[in-house]
Structure 1
Amino acid sequence: MTETIANERTETAEATYERLAGRFRPVFERIAQGALDRELNRILPFEQVAWLNAAGFGKLRVPVEHGGDGVSFEHFFRLLIELAAADSSVAHLYRSHFAFVETVGLEGEAFARRWYPRIVAGEIFGNAATEKAGNALGTTNTKLVRDGGRWLLNGEKYYTTGSIFAEWIAVMASTDGIEGRQYAVVNTKQAGVEIVDDWDGFGQQLTGTGTTYFRDAAVEPADVIERKPSSTHEPAFFQLVLLAVLAGIGNAALADAKILVRNRKRTFNTGTGELFRNDPLILQLVGQLSAKVFAAESVVLTAARELDAAADKSLPLDDVQRYVRGEAAVEKAQIVVPELVLEATGQLFDVTGASATSKGKALDRHWRNARTVATHNPTVFKARTIGDYEVNGTTPEGLHSIGDAPSKS
């Protein structure tokens, strides 16, 4: 027993990660095996989500004292990249779940005792924040109204990624008698909730993104959370999940590029006449693609380490410094990671011939998925924010609201 404890104390960070990843890689491999078929036939990954939940994937960030794994941000995002390489939609659909896990950790002990056990038991959470149109920026048309000792929720949300797989949804709403916006945690199994898989985007088609309708959905008072523009790590975490998904997509494109080049028999008279696997120009292209994917993943993990540093209570940082350290790192990552991955997924088609464009191979899904993820938070706004921070010291503001711009008279 003493020797085991000593070994755990001396285990390197890499060995710790490999032990963690070893638990999930067999599941990731099973998920990857059916990814192409699900893409071609629009099969939502309910079964694959169940495998992950059974393996305890959803409790990675739950503190150990509450029955979770308590993994670092770096190890969590590294593992998410591996899952995204297997199936980017499956990794993406967990975004709202893990964001809610972070919220639980910020809401106090009573809230933690209420929700951590459900997370540890394998229940997962979706998100319903965005409305298609009609809500002014910083407001929501979805409403909570009192009904005796509980609340009733009414409204319509779009981009409710992951909710169709979830037991619970965190819904952004306005509440009678309460200023600002709130989160209502709503059970998806009740009659007042309807989730529709009507996402028509050309990428990330299997994330369960679509419309959710709330019609007098019941909400317990303890499940209404006061939300304000965040000065915590929540916005940065929410966005870094997307960047990890992008890095995973890049790895998936690289894996396909290697298979294509290794197996290709045909060549062109304008080339060297060698097999592609021996052609120096083709190998150069694969090397460039690999370097871009490596750079993207490295940036994501560096930002994750900055989140770990911001959460490290032993460092002499005040709350604002902690927030800025994580938020600025993720915003910088947002400026460069999408470009690297979009270049890599496009370059995939330069390492082979026209046969790669076959619909049956669906190699275009990597670019389509990357392009779709990259649209979630425009990089031009992040570049401006970081420039303002570097030059003027202006505190970066995380993304916490989408709505109609105010009209000018």
Structure 2
Amino acid sequence: MTYAPETTVPAQAASAEAAYEKLAGRFRPVFARIAEGALAREQDRVLPFEQVRWLNEAGFGRLRVPVEHGGDGIGFEPFFRLLIELAEADSSVAHLYRSHFAFVETVGLEPEDFQNRWYPRVVAGEIFGNAATERSGNVIGTTGTTLSRDGEDWLLNGRKFYTTGTIFAEWIAVTASTEGIDGRQYAVVRTTQPGVEILDDWDGFGQQLTGTGTTIFRDAVVPQANIIQRSVSTTHEPAFFQLVLLAVLAGIGRAALADARSLVRDRKRTFNTGSGELFRNDPLILQLVGHLSAKVFAAESVVLAAARELDAAADPELDLTHVQRYVRGEVAVEKAQLLVPELVQSAAQQLFDITGASSTSKSKSLDRHWRNARTVSTHNPAVFKARIVGDYEINGTTPEGLHSIGDVRTAG
């Protein structure tokens, strides 16, 4: 007996997929242009200023701005699908937008007058960098970067590291401490204003083109209107910030799989210990490619499953409490952090088992996939996430999102 394949697709699912394809169609030509020069930029260490400009001109930075403010207003799942596609083209370019999109999420949580001030800048193509972390000296939960009153304005002083994306941006969201005010604040400053110096001194072995270096502030003037009072709270921001990295990892996996396809298809050489067939027909090589493909599929599926949980948490029709919304998104992303890095690093490693010694040639730079994946994976140690998820599952403890990094507090 034979069976005809089922071809009926629920109308709602078909409509969502068609909508995504239409959205992606706007950006795929730009992604293709970015991918064309990605290898050369990696080998010559050329920062992707031009590629960022292409994306800004295409409106990439306004994807999450609400429609009523002139943006696309897309949900989390289609957003992260697009980010994965961009990361496949160039993982550094996708990564450097992390701070920008995080700031857009922050704007959405602020009062209407703040939104009316900053959303138009995003819609106009301006992007935002990040200056949150310091190398050392700040106790966790505090910052050595300070704001001090200067008439009606403030003066910003400090030195930040890991300022990803800032060198490409028009604005920087800077975390700072203010005497007499609890917690930390965001000071939003122009990258080109006096008192701001951005250095391209990132020396990591992966994600080398993200502009992840030092930014220095010396009496940089900040108007009162550019200060955001922030506190540790249960919002979706920490989960979103981490899911961006996982989407970048999924894109790296897709890039490794793409290289595996082309290398195996084109390979003419083989080993006498093998089947004697071309690699494209050797069952053992095909088996390895199959495993690599499955790991990449699993990583992307996990990322998008977490994105759907963020969408569900934001759905007003579910009538969730503030804490329920936070927990639903945060737990999903923390679970994803336990799976995606390992899957993608394994896939990037397996690429070398598929292609042989020639794959180690510097001209191919295939090691970039593993280096990039390993670098992204270090941003938020998974071991801490495993403990948090376990504590939630057993004891119902509300998970704590990543809000700050600093020196250990000492007694006394």
Question: SS of the residue aligned with 1:113?
Answer: helix
**Residue identity opposite 2:184 in structure 1:** R
- Tell me how far apart the structure 2 counterparts of residues 10 and 331 of structure 1 sit (CA, whole Å): 27
State which of 328, 332, 346 in structure 1 corresponds to 2:331. 328
Aligned to 2:39: 36
Aligned to 2:405: 402
Aligned to 1:95: 98
Contact (CA 8 Å) 1:230, 1:400: kept in 2 or not? no
Q: Provide the alpha-carbon RMSD of the alignment.
A: 1.2
Shift of 1:316: 2.1
Question: SS of the residue aligned with 2:219?
Answer: strand
State which of 107, 117, 128 in structure 2 corresponds to 1:104. 107
Runs (4+) of structure 1 exceeding 6 A deviation are 8-11
Shift of 1:214: 0.3
Contact (CA 8 Å) 1:385, 1:396: kept in 2 or not? yes
State which of 35, 51, 61 in structure 2 corresponds to 1:58. 61
Shift of 1:151: 0.6
Aligned to 2:8: none
Contact (CA 8 Å) 1:146, 1:176: kept in 2 or not? no
Aligned residue pairs total: 402
State which of 237, 240, 264 in structure 2 corresponds to 1:261. 264
State which of 237, 240, 259 in structure 1 corresponds to 2:240. 237
Q: In the TM superposition, what are the counterparts of 1:327-406 in structure 2 within 5 Å? A: 327-406=330-409
State which of 160, 164, 184 in structure 1 corresponds to 2:163. 160
Question: SS of the residue aligned with 1:269?
Answer: coil
User: Between the two proteins, what is the percent identity of the paired residues?
Assistant: 78
Give the 3 Å change call, closer, same or farther, for CA 322–268 of structure 1 in structure 2: same
State which of 51, 71, 75 in structure 2 corresponds to 1:72. 75
Aligned to 2:281: 278
- Tell me how far apart the structure 1 counterparts of residues 152 and 263 of structure 2 sit (CA, whole Å): 62
Question: SS of the residue aligned with 1:12?
Answer: helix
Q: Which runs of 5+ in 1 are unaligned?
A: 1-7
- Which piece of structure 1 moves more, 127-136 or 177-186? 177-186
Q: In the TM superposition, what are the counterparts of 1:208-219 in structure 2 within 5 Å? A: 208-219=211-222
Q: Deviations over 1:228-273 (max 9, x none)?
A: 1131000000000000000000000000000010000000000000
- Tell me how far apart the structure 2 counterparts of residues 296 and 203 of structure 1 sit (CA, whole Å): 20
Shift of 1:191: 1.7
Shift of 1:166: 0.3
- Tell me how far apart the structure 1 counterparts of residues 24 and 60 of structure 2 sit (CA, whole Å): 11
State which of 25, 47, 51 in structure 2 corresponds to 1:22. 25
- Tell me how far apart the structure 1 counterparts of residues 319 and 188 of structure 2 sit (CA, whole Å): 35
Question: SS of the residue aligned with 2:285?
Answer: helix
**Residue identity opposite 2:119 in structure 1:** Y
Question: SS of the residue aligned with 1:314?
Answer: helix
Contact (CA 8 Å) 1:197, 1:208: kept in 2 or not? yes
**Residue identity opposite 2:366 in structure 1:** L
Q: Deviations over 1:260-293 (max 9, x none)?
A: 1000000000000000000000000000000000
Shift of 1:178: 1.6
Aligned to 1:140: 143
Contact (CA 8 Å) 1:230, 1:398: kept in 2 or not? no
Q: In the TM superposition, what are the counterparts of 1:282-293 in structure 2 within 5 Å? A: 282-293=285-296
- Tell me how far apart the structure 1 counterparts of residues 236 and 66 of structure 2 sit (CA, whole Å): 16
Q: Deviations over 1:147-205 (max 9, x none)?
A: 11101100000000000000000000001332211010011111210000100000000
Aligned to 1:3: none
Aligned to 2:189: 186
- Tell me how far apart the structure 2 counterparts of residues 269 and 105 of structure 1 sit (CA, whole Å): 62
**Residue identity opposite 2:149 in structure 1:** R
Q: Which runs of 5+ in 2 are unaligned?
A: 1-10
Contact (CA 8 Å) 1:332, 1:386: kept in 2 or not? yes
Superposition TM-score, scaled by structure 1 size? 0.97
Superposition TM-score, scaled by structure 2 size? 0.96
Shift of 1:407: 2.9
Aligned to 1:171: 174
- Tell me how far apart the structure 2 counterparts of residues 97 and 252 of structure 1 sit (CA, whole Å): 23
**Residue identity opposite 1:265 in structure 2:** K
Contact (CA 8 Å) 1:128, 1:160: kept in 2 or not? yes
Give the 3 Å change call, closer, same or farther, for CA 78–177 of structure 1 in structure 2: same
**Residue identity opposite 1:112 in structure 2:** Q
Q: Deviations over 1:8-52 (max 9, x none)?
A: 999710000000000000000000000000000000000000000
- Which piece of structure 1 moves more, 280-289 or 220-229? 220-229
Give the 3 Å change call, closer, same or farther, for CA 10–408 of structure 1 in structure 2: closer
Shift of 1:400: 0.3
Aligned to 2:3: none
**Residue identity opposite 1:386 in structure 2:** V
Q: Deviations over 1:81-112 (max 9, x none)?
A: 00000000000000000000000000010100
- Tell me how far apart the structure 1 counterparts of residues 155 and 59 of structure 2 sit (CA, whole Å): 32
Shift of 1:116: 0.2
- Tell me how far apart the structure 2 counterparts of residues 388 and 344 of structure 1 sit (CA, whole Å): 30
